[in-house]
Structure 1
Amino acid sequence: MDKAIGSGQAEEWKSGWTLVLAASVGFSFFSVLLAATGLFMEPLSREFGWNRSLLSAGPAIATLITAVLSPFYGALIDRAGSRRLALPGIVAVMAATCAFATANGSPVQWIALWVVLGVLLTTIKSTIWTLAVASMFTKGRGLALGFTVSGTALAQAIVPPLGNFLIEEVGWRGAFVWFGLGWGGLSLLLCFLFLYDAHDRNVRSGKAPASRSGDHLPGLTRQEALRSRPLWQVAVSTFVVMFLTIGLSIHLFPILTESGVSRSNAAWLTSLTGIAGIIGKLATGALLDRFRPNWIGGLTMGVTAVTFFLLTVAMSSTPAIVIALLVNGYAAGTKMQICAYLTAGYAGMRHFGAIYGMMSALVALASGLGPLAAGAIYDRLGGYEPFLWAGTVGCLIGGALLVFLPSYPRWDAAESQEKDQVA
């Protein structure tokens, strides 16, 4: 069995590694400006006199817009396929990124630039890349998705030093242009050469109708997905854990400093989460392919409770803090990866774009509400302790929802039966 799985994974990677590379770099372009926002705050504030609230409002607005549009765009991906939408989407985001160089000091223009970017970012968010990779990988799907979603970690690691260098060398306007044309251009080239999905494969082999509808692929309809208990469990688990962990991530630095950790040590400690995040994505991907995915997903989600618990009861212990942040970092980057993997398993690929688009919308909503809730709890109660206790309990519940998922439907058997009927 293990040899058969390993052989299947090797065959998938042999033919699909370039797809994973293109999807990972393409997804990284989605995160470039979001990761670079802090770099531009000082030069823009100095030139235009803008406050941090205005400068921070743009990314929040863009994230909200992508949440609203994700389900609709996911349905469109199901019909058109990833390639047809990703290539023009990358070009549009390149132009929108370069347009930030035209900022003239008008707050209205600044917000308008982010509104336009938010609409266009929907065309290159996680749905389009995960659909392409999930549709082409079965045996090695977990690791393939791990590399794909690592694109955001790639951006978060490279953008700060690169952006700072560009701002110093060519100014903030030039930095926007270089990010748009340079990073976007590389993404466009790789996707033009290597991005495809099951739609494209079936069209080339003559198995798909010209409309490119996903009806020829096995899986649930959208109405069936709405009645699927396993998918609801995945959705609720992901929403709860994202709500709590994103709230923690945004407030982690003040949580540490208010507990007596110096600013320099807090900065060093929080950097550990980024390193652990990359390891977590790849390790979780490999584990999902070899063991029961609901157990791996549930344990990975649930173990985040350790972070909240240690930050509540053991803040005086440096080793405990390090363990808490390493655990949080390991699990932090895996939530969307686990969600995509389980959604593909329980929903199939027939309408994966629309179904996963709804999951992405819930994630974006949770990512926006979590930090607000943590801040409100701090303002009302004078500390983060109630939020940390809620995180301990909530992450355990989120993990348990995945552990108790039923077995996957047999989509491979359904697909074989369809092929036999056609033959």
Structure 2
Amino acid sequence: MAESSPTAAEEFRQHWKLILAAAAGFSFTVVITSSTGLFIAPISDEFGWSRTLVSSGISITAILTFVFSPLFGVFIDKWGVRRLAIPGLALMVCVIASLSQLDGSTWMWFTIWTAYAVTALMTKSTVWTASVNSTFKAGRGLALGLVLSGSALAQAFTPMYAEYLIRVYGWRMAFIVLAVTWGTVAILLCLLWLKDGYEISRKMRDAAQAAGRAAGTLLDVPGLSVREAMRDPALWRIAISTFIIMTVTIGLVVHQIPILTEIGVDRRTAALYALPAGLAGIAGKLITGWLLDHFPARWVGGLTIGVTSLSFLLLLLPHAPTWAIVTALMINGYAGGTKLQLVGFLTAAYSGMRQFGTIFGIMASLIAAGSGLGPVVAGLIYDIWQSYAPGLWGGFLLTLLSAILLFGLGPYPDWAAEEGTAAPA
């Protein structure tokens, strides 16, 4: 008789340390994205660069992540999370700190961001999502919410922290302190506690190899192959919706400070506004995680993403009052902050875990493409029209389209019924 699966409560009691380590690791990977808006003005002023150029750093990362994410997804399936994440975090500390050495050379700028792209491939959402999905079943939605709340914490506190460091020590020292302080905590926690389903399966695979039996990927579970996933309509809907929402929301996050200063908010106040938005993001991830474990994800995701459109409308109000600005940022923090959680949950639900690393690596390519396109398009819109308004109107319409795509998803495949079979029915 097969053993009964653990309850959500039992999973959390056993693996809470993994959640804490993964959340810390993921939070560090979005520190640079969350603080870029504060570095745009001082770097532009010192070197005479356009906002499009200063925004291009994240876009360089996104382009390379788009190209190579599927390959790193294969690495996850073969090696697991721990062997990628910990070296990646250590390299990220070094690369972020090296931005302090910029001398006005655009080639140096492009080189450093190319190096950053390699570290990003080792530590992006694919890694942390795979870690949670390989470990949790009954409590997967909430576990994803807790881990991905690391990004909301970074978005809440990094702008204030970075603004203080830039104001007191200058932008060069700010890069160094951000990297060393945040990165050290993330690395230590992951060294101690990042032990997930891949690590458990590694021991089983090693035992099988020692006994002379063949062993393939780390996780021997049902699900779609990569070829089957590429033909699956549900996964196509998830992919297109993800690309759209990442493009508009990352563009808003990166240019949030300039957008607010354009409507009359000073830089220090604009940085403070990130706190309630980040806290709302944490609430959104936790609430959405619970909802995903109890209700169809197409409804949870569609409603959550659809509400994000209101944030763009509120920022378009003439002489937007404080309540409208704070509400817009909180809505974007709450709803937009769940996008990685939703795509991670939906991909696992509709593809299974058989080759999740590779399949989600393809999703991560689209995440990277949207993340890279959004900031550059937003900067280009400003450079052309000297206003962010056209981009805000576009964001409003595109978030509605993204929500409609999720509403059209069908029921989940029953992967539990496929245990012991070679392929899904």
The TM tier, using the shorter chain, reads 0.7 to 0.9
**Which consecutive residues of structure 1, in runs of 5 or more, have no partner in the other structure?**
419-423
Select 1:413's aligned residue among 390, 412, 417.
417
> Which amino acid in the other structure matches residue 237 of structure 1?
S
Q: Which range moves more in the overlay, 286-295 or 210-219?
A: 210-219
Shift of 1:118: 1.4
- The one-letter amino acid of 1:222's match is V
SS at 1:136 equivalent: coil
Correspondence for 1:397? 401
* Equivalent residues of 1:220, 1:350 under 8 A apart: yes
* Matches of 1:220 and 1:414, distance apart in 2: 11
Shift of 1:62: 2.4
The answer for the alignment partner of 1:237 in structure 2 is 241
Is contact 1:87–1:188 with CA below 8 Å preserved after alignment? yes
Who is 2:140 aligned against?
141
The answer as to whether partners of 1:298 and 1:400 remain within 8 angstroms in 2 is yes
Choose the corresponding residue for 1:305, options 305, 309, 315: 309
The separation in 2 between residues aligned to 1:38 and 1:256, in whole angstroms, is 11
* Structure 2 unmatched runs, 5+: 210-214
**Matched residue count:** 412
- Within 5 A, what are the aligned runs for 1:324-335? 324-335=328-339
User: Within 2, Cα distance between the matches of 1:388 and 1:89?
Assistant: 34
Letter in 2 for 1:281: K
What displacement does 1:312 show?
Answer: 5.2
Separation (CA, whole Å) in 1 of partners of 2:139 and 2:161: 33
Give the CA deviation at 1:69.
1.8
Which of the pair is proportionally richer in helix? Answer: 1
Residue number in structure 1 paired with 2:74: 75
Q: Which residue of 1 aligns with 2:348?
A: 344
Equivalent runs, 1:145-160 vs 2, <5 Å: 145-160=144-159
Native 8 Å contact 1:218 1:350 kept in 2: yes
Contact 2:278/2:333 (8 A) holds in 1: yes
**CA apart distance, 1:28:** 1.7
Distance 1:95 1:376, change over 3 A: closer
| Alignment map for 1:4-153 (pairs within 5 Å) | 8-37=7-36, 49=47, 51=49, 53=51, 55-103=54-102, 106-153=105-152
Measured after TM superposition, the shift of residue 270 of structure 1 is: 5.9
**In the TM superposition, what is the alpha-carbon distance from 1:249 to its structure 2 partner?**
4.1
The CA deviation at 1:158 is: 3.6
**TM-score scaled by structure 1?**
0.83
8 Å contact from structure 1 (residues 314, 320) kept in 2: no
Q: State how far apart, in whole Å, the 1-side matches of 2:229 and 2:207 are.
A: 23
Output the CA distance in 2 between the equivalents of 1:62 and 1:240: 18
Partner SS, residue 25 of structure 1: helix
Q: Deviations over 1:195-228 (max 9, x none)?
A: 1332221233468755551461221110000001
CA contact (8 A) 1:214 1:349 kept: no
TM-score (norm 2): 0.82
Query: What is the letter of the counterpart of residue 203 of structure 2?
Result: R
1:168 offset after TM fit, Å?
A: 7.4
Alpha-carbon separation, structure 2, partners of 1:322 and 1:94:
32
Task: Summarize the alignment of residues 138-287 of structure 1 with structure 2, pairs less than 5 Å apart.
Answer: 138-163=137-162, 176-205=175-204, 209-210=208-209, 213-214=217-218, 216-250=220-254, 262-263=265-266, 272-287=276-291
* Corresponding residue number in structure 2 for 1:294: 298
Comparing 83-92 with 381-390, greater Cα deviation is found at 381-390
Contact in 1 for aligned 2:222/2:420 (Cα 8 Å): no
Distance 2:395 2:275 in 1: 21
Change (3 A) 1:165 1:382: closer
Report the 3-state secondary structure (helix = DSSP H, G, I; strand = E; otherwise coil) of the residue aligned with 1:290: coil
- Is 1:357 the counterpart of 2:355 in the alignment? no
Q: What is the letter of the counterpart of residue 374 of structure 2?
A: G
| More moved, 101-110 vs 72-81 | 101-110
